[in-house]
């Protein structure tokens, strides 16, 4: 059954890419079809097990997202992301909770739980959608970093609101959030740096061990952060960002492995959430969920974005897109299991409202985001594609073998080998073109689709890679255009 579900899910990704329908909805549909109101009538109501597996899947998804996050894109956006993940979340929680209380008639505790649950943008949804839409790096960096940061404060709020006793005072919650974020950030950066240093210093006997080691280090960051009473989610994301930007050996293979594990995590998580829900119980909560979602998407999210980003003086077009790009996915549904496990009164209804809200507004926001980006003229389709460079250590020679792929859109197309002007100690030794390999001459013009093998000694390895990326972005005039070192 599990293998059949995986195969169906793989086919569903293909259908999703063609139809524009978010894949998470297809996975939820698979779970519902298997469940008690579906074809196979499988009864599953273990919210605690769903929460544990959901947390584990979220750790993997955050690790995969962090490995693919480019530091040069998120570095300028870190202050914005931090404000969105703290002040923005607080505004969104308050406005959404007020809407749930006054429009739907929920008690304040239930309303606050819903407000906290749905105020977290989903890392998997944001990473998968934004990387297909050519947006300004400032917008992409802010949204990606926000989705990696905001899980931590939201989890603290949901747990606080789901206690059976009185809720802590607001200043205690703020202090707890600040402390957990600080501990998680410190642990994540430290574990990521130590892991990257170790992987660069030791040549493993097989290339397939590098992806396993990287994922193990990222998960260890989550464990270390949680043990230190910090935010494990922030720790795993930052550790993965450090690892993904540390020029590790076999980096493309590592990202491919992480992407595959991330897909498995998403499939398993969404199918399990689909199993947990009881479809015939959703009918009564459909319109309340639509009402709460309308408050969230048209009032709470825009207020949180425009209000918290007021000091940064962004164009209104970018703020508008960031307001609409607050995508929800599995994270809110997983967080909605916390009050169920705690035995909070009305938690079943909270779960149903959150489930319907996520499904309905994912159907609306996901497919329309590319259209909105074009309408606001924020797309950048002419941006040069980045190179794929993989490094394998040559331990005995104290050097590295760089495998460089020239993608469509790269400005390295038409550049001659001599015009690369690689540093002394680095050279293009082989070109693979149309399935045939040859040793290039200095006058050989490179083409899109070529694969190059570049040998670089250890002292100039980083400089050679920087130069290759600069030429890929700016062409042979990269030095004069200011795109990179000469």
Per-residue model confidence as pLDDT tens digits over 90-137 = 999 999 999 999 999 999 999 999 999 999 887 767 766 766 677 777
| Cβ atoms of 184 and 198 closer than 8 Å | no
| Cβ atoms of 211 and 248 closer than 8 Å | no
The mean per-residue pLDDT over the stretch 387-393 comes to 68
The mean per-residue pLDDT over the stretch 160-177 comes to 85
Number of other CB atoms surrounding residue 260 within 10 Å: 12
* Concatenated DSSP letters of 249-314: TTHHHHHHHHHHHHHHHHHHHHHHHHHHS-GGGSGGGHHHHHHHHHHIIIIIHHHHHHHHTGGGT-
- Separation CA 274–CA 268 (nearest Å): 10
| Cβ atoms of 68 and 127 closer than 8 Å | yes
Share in percent of the chain as helix, strand, coil (round to 5): 65, 5, 25
The pLDDT of residue 118: 94
The pLDDT of residue 486: 43
**Apex 464 CA angle, 137 and 398, nearest 5:** 130
**Tokens standing for residue 356:** 């319907």
The pLDDT of residue 378: 83
Burial of 335 (0-12, 13-18, 19+ CB in 10 A): buried
For the ranges 2-16, 173-187, 195-209, the one whose mean pLDDT is highest: 173-187
Model confidence at 480, pLDDT cuts 50, 70, 90, reads: low
Is the predicted pLDDT of residue 387 greater than 70, yes or no?
no
The pLDDT of residue 483: 47
Domains 2-375 and 388-481 share a fold: no
In angstroms, how far is the first alpha carbon of the chain from the final one? 56
Residue with tokens 């939201």: 154
Partners of 42 in beta bridges: 35
Per-residue model confidence as pLDDT tens digits over 181-237 = 999 999 999 999 999 999 988 878 888 899 999 999 999 999 999 999 999 999 999
Choose which CATH entry (3.40.640.10, 3.40.50.12660, 3.30.420.40, 3.30.70.1450) describes domain 388-481: 3.30.70.1450
Helix (H, G, I), strand (E, B) or coil at 352: helix
Q: Look up the pTM and report it.
A: 0.79
Is the predicted pLDDT of residue 484 greater than 90, yes or no?
no
**Tokens standing for residue 405:** 């792929």
**Tokens standing for residue 237:** 């994301």
The mean per-residue pLDDT over the stretch 162-174 comes to 83
Cα distances from 5 to residues 10, 26, 128, 272, in angstroms, run 9, 11, 21, 11
Per-residue model confidence as pLDDT tens digits over 402-429 = 889 998 888 999 999 999 999 998 999 9
- Separation CA 243–CA 191 (nearest Å): 9
**Tokens standing for residue 452:** 């190059």
| Cβ atoms of 475 and 415 closer than 8 Å | yes
The mean per-residue pLDDT over the stretch 456-483 comes to 81
Every domain of the chain and the residues it spans: 2-375, 388-481
Is the predicted pLDDT of residue 138 greater than 70, yes or no?
yes
- Separation CA 105–CA 85 (nearest Å): 28
Segment holding 437, helix H or strand E = strand 436-438
Residue with tokens 């994922």: 215
The pLDDT of residue 485: 46
Residue with tokens 């202050």: 79
* Residues whose CB falls within 8 Å of the CB of residue 394, separated by 6 or more in sequence, listed in order: 400, 401, 455
Strands 436-438 and 451-457 come out as unpaired
At residue 327, φ and ψ (nearest 5 deg) are -75, 140
Cα distances from 193 to residues 78, 190, 199, in angstroms, run 19, 5, 10
The pLDDT of residue 103: 94
2-375 classified as CATH 1.20.1530.20 = yes
Distance of CA 129 to the CA centre of its chain: 9
Q: In the Cβ-directed half-sphere of 221, how many Cα atoms lie within 13 Å?
A: 35
- Separation CA 212–CA 215 (nearest Å): 5
Burial of 284 (0-12, 13-18, 19+ CB in 10 A): exposed
Model confidence at 370, pLDDT cuts 50, 70, 90, reads: confident
Distance of CA 289 to the CA centre of its chain: 26
The mean per-residue pLDDT over the stretch 371-396 comes to 70
b/e 17-42 (16+ beta carbons within 10 angstroms → b): eeeebbbbbbbbbbbbbbbbebeeee
DSSP state of 165: S
- Separation CA 470–CA 447 (nearest Å): 16
Segment holding 404, helix H or strand E = strand 399-405
The residue ranking higher by pLDDT, 129 or 51, is 51
Closest CA to 426 of 397, 393, 402: 402
């Amino acid at each position: 059954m599990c293998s059949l579900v995986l195969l169906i899910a793989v086919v569903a990704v293909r259908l999703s890419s063609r139809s524009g329908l978010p894949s998470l909805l297809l996975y939820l549909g698979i779970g519902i079809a298997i469940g008690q109101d579906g074809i196979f009538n499988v009864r599953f109501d273990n919210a605690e097990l769903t929460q544990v597996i959901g947390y584990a899947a979220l750790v993997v998804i955050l690790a995969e997202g962090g490995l693919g996050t480019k530091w040069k894109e998120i570095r300028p956006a870190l202050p914005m992301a931090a404000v969105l993940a703290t002040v923005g979340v607080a505004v969104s929680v308050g406005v959404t909770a007020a809407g749930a209380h006054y429009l739907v008639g929920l008690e304040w505790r239930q309303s606050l739980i819903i407000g906290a649950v749905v105020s977290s943008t989903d890392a998997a949804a944001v990473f998968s959608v934004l990387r297909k839409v050519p947006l300004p790096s400032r917008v992409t960096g802010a949204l990606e970093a926000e989705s990696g940061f905001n899980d931590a404060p939201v989890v603290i709020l949901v747990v606080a609101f789901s206690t059976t006793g009185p809720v802590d005072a607001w200043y205690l919650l703020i202090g707890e959030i600040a402390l957990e974020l600080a501990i998680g950030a410190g642990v994540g950066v430290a574990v990521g740096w130590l892991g990257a240093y170790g992987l660069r210093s030791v040549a493993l006997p097989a290339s397939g061990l590098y992806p396993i080691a990287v994922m193990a280090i990222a998960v260890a960051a989550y464990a270390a952060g949680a043990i230190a009473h910090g935010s494990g989610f922030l720790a795993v994301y930052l550790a993965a960002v450090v690892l993904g930007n540390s020029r590790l050996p076999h980096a493309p293979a590592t990202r491919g492995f992480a992407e595959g594990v991330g897909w498995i995590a998403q499939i398993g998580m969404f199918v399990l959430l689909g199993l947990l829900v009881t479809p015939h119980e959703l009918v009564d909560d459909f319109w309340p969920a639509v009402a709460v979602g309308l408050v969230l998407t048209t009032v709470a999210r825009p207020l949180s974005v425009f209000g918290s980003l007021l000091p940064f003086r962004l164009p209104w077009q970018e703020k508008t897109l960031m307001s609409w790009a607050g995508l929800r996915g599995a994270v809110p549904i997983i967080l909605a299991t916390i009050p169920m496990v705690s035995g909070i009164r009305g938690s079943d209804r909270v779960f149903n409202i959150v489930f319907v809200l996520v499904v309905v507004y994912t159907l609306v926001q996901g497919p329309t985001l590319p259209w909105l980006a074009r309408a606001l003229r924020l797309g950048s389709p002419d941006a040069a594609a980045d190179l794929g460079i993989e490094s394998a250590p040559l331990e005995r020679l104290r050097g590295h073998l760089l495998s460089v792929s020239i993608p469509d859109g790269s400005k390295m197309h038409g550049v001659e080998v001599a015009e690369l002007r690689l540093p002394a100690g680095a050279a293009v030794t082989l070109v693979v073109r149309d399935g045939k390999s040859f040793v290039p001459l200095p006058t050989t013009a490179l083409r899109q689709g070529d694969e190059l093998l570049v040998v670089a000694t250890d002292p100039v390895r980083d400089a050679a890679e920087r130069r290759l990326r600069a030429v890929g972005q700016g062409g042979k005039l990269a030095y004069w255009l200011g795109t990179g070192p000469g």
